[in-house]
Amino acid sequence: MGCTPSESLLASTLECFYDQSCLDLIRRYTNCPNSSVPLSINGSRFLQNTTIDQLAHDLFLEQWSTQVDYPSYYEHCSPSVCSYTRIERFNVLYTITIIVGLQGGLTIALKWICPKLVRIVSKIYHNRKKQANSVRPSSHVMTNTITIRPETTTSLSVRSYAKIISGVVVLSCSITCIIVFSIYYAGQNSATTNLPSTGSFSPTMSATITPSSSTSEPLCSFQFKQISTATKCLVSSLIPSIIVDLNDDGRTDLIMYCDSTKTVDVLLGTGNGTFHEVSKFPLGNHTAIRFIRTADTNNDDRLDLIVAYDVFLPPDFLHSIRYILILFGYGNGTFQTTNIQSLTLTGFLVDISVVDVNEDHNVDIVYLFLLDDYVYVRWGDGNGTFSSQLMLFTSFNSDLRQLAIADYNHDNHIDIAVMNSRSLHIHLYLSNTEGGFQTQKRIYTAFDISSFVMLIGDFDHRNQSNIILVHQWRNTGYLLYRYDNGTFTVDDQIMFNEPVELYSVIVGDLNNDKHLDIIIGGVYPYRVHGFFGNGNGYYQSQMIDSSSVDIYEIWLGIDDFNNDFCQDLIKMSVGSSTIDVLLNTCQCSTT
């Protein structure tokens, strides 16, 4: 019996469950229709009179077998930080090292202290001796003789020497204790090490934090000349805008969405940084364009137009139907308006890529939905239609934001990477030889970022694509992930010591040095920063364009718009009716 029911339970045993008659008695009193088989004591390490408390303490386990598999643990759990502790016992070499270290430390300390102690003792001794041999006049005034009376100082000298020796001993012991404690503390710090872990990360992750001003070489400031093209559209949505050579004339063209007319506008490039309008494709008054892509979906060597858009249903505009529309191209910048293919979507689209994933020479569609846990792949049939769907699971309660499709492990097969903004993990699906994908690899990025953009490209000249995550919080930096020998390693760098708004981020080679550069456009106020790479993972910053005017939204693109073999920049902003091209003069100054 106990004071509480829980105490009574813990103090009791399971002896009744080993006796058939006791079980029958319980069954009769509880009116239980099922019969029970008594427990067997054979093969158990617990006795019949073992208390419930002891059984709970032993977790009711008959046998505990441990099999440690650390790679599987990291693969499934993906811890953000792991640590290991190494305990080293004293050995002969360690003991000799400590003794030699103590001898060296004491030698240096005593070499500085002992001469000073000897001087102090010598001064005290001479002062005492001087006082003992002092000459004093006799107190007998009736005679003219002078008597010398030595004072007794033996007991005082002995006491002084004892104090000095005690002080030296205490000081030596204190120095010895400090040295031993320092050696022990240093050994403890070197024994415990924290390592970042990301499931598929290498334990020897290199992290080099280098500010953009670390290089001593002066930055060559490039000069740009702005040319503007007026449009009849008041831009209010910049996300769908893309640049591509639609008619294969070697000139970069522009496709944009005009919200005021609810049309997709095609503007062909003139070759001097300006554009002229060719065609408009109306989509209805109750539509909103999400994305525009181009690809040859029907294998006729002509680019087709893929438009993802929403149709709002009046009067309830909170509900909408999502579509992917495919308009076949004529090869001259115009598209068919009769034979149109379409796909109906079941979620709010946040990103889309049109690429031949399974390498069957038919382009496929990869897309993400808002607050969804899957990456969706629609396989292309080669005639502009798309059939069966592949769903790649990421994790529960995901918030997938961006796709990055490239060959990351240099096996000449397309891989899929997706950024999860809720867990701040990159989910990577490496392709296999059968046209499918391997089990996902999860790469943990960081925990102290407020915004990010994922980029892809060969940033370190290893002939394979890397993932760069540009992020900002208290500063602006990047994480470069490279696949090497079955795992991912990361380089970390601070690009700018202040946070830069990551409203529009693109990759190109502005200074024509065969190294990829990163261009970032921000608002409030408007700024375009160029971060020029040197191919070794370091970047230098340059202000390319700026204004004191605050804008709401900005879109940037990069290409050679005037065919001078130097990449230029194109920009558009919400509320503006012009398209601005910043022509690269290919000339720079180091002043």
- The answer to whether residues 492 and 209 touch, using CB atoms and an 8 Å cutoff, is yes
Which phi and psi (to 5°) does residue 135 adopt? -100, 125
Ramachandran bin of 116, using left for φ above 0, alpha for ψ from -120 to 50, beta for the remaining angles? alpha
Q: In whole angstroms, what is the distance from residue 335 CA to residue 50 CA? A: 83
Ramachandran bin of 163, using left for φ above 0, alpha for ψ from -120 to 50, beta for the remaining angles? alpha
State the pLDDT at residue 590.
56
Of 256, 189, 215, which Cα lies nearest the Cα of 574?
256
What type of residue sits at position 277? Answer: E
Higher-pLDDT residue of 373 and 540 is 373
Residue with tokens 């529960």: 396
Which phi and psi (to 5°) does residue 330 adopt? -95, -10
For 376-431, what is each residue's pLDDT tens digit?
999 999 998 998 889 999 999 999 999 999 999 888 889 999 999 988 999 999 99
Residue with tokens 């115009």: 334
pLDDT at 206 over 60: no
- The answer to whether residues 197 and 75 touch, using CB atoms and an 8 Å cutoff, is no
For 290-327, what is each residue's pLDDT tens digit?
899 999 999 999 999 999 988 877 665 556 788 899 99
pLDDT at 568 over 90: yes
Residue with tokens 């438009």: 307
> pTM for the full model?
0.63
Q: And the tokens for 289? A: 């364009």
Which phi and psi (to 5°) does residue 88 adopt? -110, 130
Higher-pLDDT residue of 521 and 216 is 521
Q: And the tokens for 302? A: 């002509």
Within 64-216, residue ranges assigned H as helices are: 70-77, 92-132, 154-191
DSSP H helix total and E strand total for the chain: 6, 30
State the pLDDT at residue 290.
87
- The answer to whether residues 591 and 243 touch, using CB atoms and an 8 Å cutoff, is no
- The answer to whether residues 275 and 256 touch, using CB atoms and an 8 Å cutoff, is no
Mean pLDDT of 111-124: 80
For 47-59, what is each residue's pLDDT tens digit?
888 999 999 998 8
Give 184's pLDDT tier (boundaries 50, 70, 90): low
Of the segments 69-73, 232-236, 455-459, which one has the largest average pLDDT value? 455-459
For 20-37, what is each residue's pLDDT tens digit?
889 888 888 787 777 788
Residue with tokens 């103090």: 11
Q: And the tokens for 274? A: 């300006």
Q: In whole angstroms, what is the distance from residue 181 CA to residue 133 CA? A: 49
Provide the residue count of the chain: 591
State the pLDDT at residue 159.
59
Domain boundaries, the chain: 1-34+66-79, 451-590
Residue ranges of E strands in 270-381: 275-282, 287-295, 304-312, 320-329, 335-345, 349-355, 364-369, 374-380
Q: And the tokens for 73? A: 């643990």
What type of residue sits at position 240? Answer: P
CA distances in angstroms from 589 to 386, 509, 532, 558, listed in the order given = 52, 17, 15, 22
pLDDT at 180 over 80: no
Query: Residue 166, exposed/middle/buried by CB under 10 A (0-12, 13-18, 19+)?
Result: exposed
User: Poorest-confidence range of 43-57, 218-232, 263-277, 281-295?
Assistant: 218-232
Give 556's pLDDT tier (boundaries 50, 70, 90): very high
Helix 154-191 vs helix 92-132: crossing angle, to nearest 10: 160
pLDDT at 544 over 70: yes
For 248-269, what is each residue's pLDDT tens digit?
899 999 998 887 788 888 999 9
State the pLDDT at residue 86.
73
Give 140's pLDDT tier (boundaries 50, 70, 90): very low
What type of residue sits at position 479? Answer: L
CA distances in angstroms from 302 to 294, 295, 296, 342, listed in the order given = 10, 8, 6, 18
The rounded mean pLDDT for the chain is 80
Mean pLDDT of 154-172: 64
Q: In whole angstroms, what is the distance from residue 549 CA to residue 343 CA? A: 41
* 13 beta partners: 51
Q: And the tokens for 549? A: 């005017």
